Structure 1
Amino acid sequence: MLTVVVGPPCAGKSTYVRAHARDGDVTVDYDAIARALGSRRDHEAPRAVADTASRARDAAVSRVMAKRWPAWVIHSRPSADQIAAYRDAGARLVLMDPGIDECLRRCAEDSRPPGTEARIRDWYERPPQLAADWSIQ
């Protein structure tokens, strides 16, 4: 089964996936891909790495959807088209939303890179428009 984990920065998406994915499940995590492709900074990849990681992430998502492999996709803010594609692929959605105050606290505690606080606030101001007919856990 394809599981898409959505939520703002610092919501615990990666932690949730690490706790629930089984051996052999594909995990698609942009930050992990960026590190594997050469980023030395967590959550802040240089432009060339970021662009390459984004394309690799898209290819991985396409592959697991086409093959219907068990997979976990961490996707903070999917677009309406991406949400439709996930729903059409039969994905289940896990929404990680501990609240803005908790995300901001984690951001400060984890010493996240500059801009993370703004991305958290932006996520809460403009959350993804999740399909009403998509089961959210």
Structure 2
Amino acid sequence: MGLIVVTGPPAAGKSSWIKAHARPSDVVIDLDLMALAMAGPGADHHRHDPTLLRIVHRARQAAIHEAERHLTTTDVYLIHTMPQAKARARYRRLGARIVVVDPGEAIVRARVRDMRDPQMDAVVTRWYRDHRRGGSRAVTPQASRAW
């Protein structure tokens, strides 16, 4: 049992990786799924209203805090696209396993171009820049899939 932090650029397949590995009894903390659950009917899966995002970010922090109390009895999967040094240190203290999902920059950029808000391209650029500087660790290849 423990914490599994799944990181990687936008549209890398982090949620898909979790779907392939988590069990029904595990806890999954995924900002996009939380936003979708809190949004009105027909809301976009990846484009969220700023007010909704503020609410979801607070709910996510509360979920993480509570989940930390159960790491000895439950696997907790947490998506964190770009954890900063403070978060990475916290995850290390908790004994987290870090999984980096990255199918490659060309695939990620094509997915973002086809399915995400154009502003996400800047997040992709930042993720790869930070990754190349050592901001992330070992890469878990994620095969491309039909979207």
The counterpart of 1:118, out of the listed 118, 122, 136, is: 122
> CA RMSD of the aligned region, Å?
1.9
Question: Which structure 2 segments of 5+ residues have no match?
Answer: 141-147
Cα offset, 1:107, TM superposition:
1.9
**CA offsets, 1:91-126, max 9 Å, x none?**
1010112221110122234x2122122221121123
- Does structure 1 conserve the Cα–Cα contact (< 8 Å) formed by 2:7 and 2:14? yes
The counterpart of 1:44, out of the listed 27, 44, 47, is: 47
The counterpart of 1:101, out of the listed 67, 87, 106, is: 106
Quick one: percent identity of the two aligned structures?
35
TM-score (norm 2): 0.82
Q: How does 1:41-120 map to 2 (within 5 A)?
A: 41-68=44-71, 69-109=74-114, 111-120=115-124
How many residues align? The count is 133
- Does structure 2 conserve the Cα–Cα contact (< 8 Å) formed by 1:92 and 1:136? no
TM-score (norm 1): 0.87
Structure 1 window deviating more from structure 2 (9-18 vs 35-44): it is 35-44
Cα offset, 1:136, TM superposition:
7.0
Question: Which structure 1 segments of 5+ residues have no match?
Answer: none
Give the SS at the match of 1:94: strand
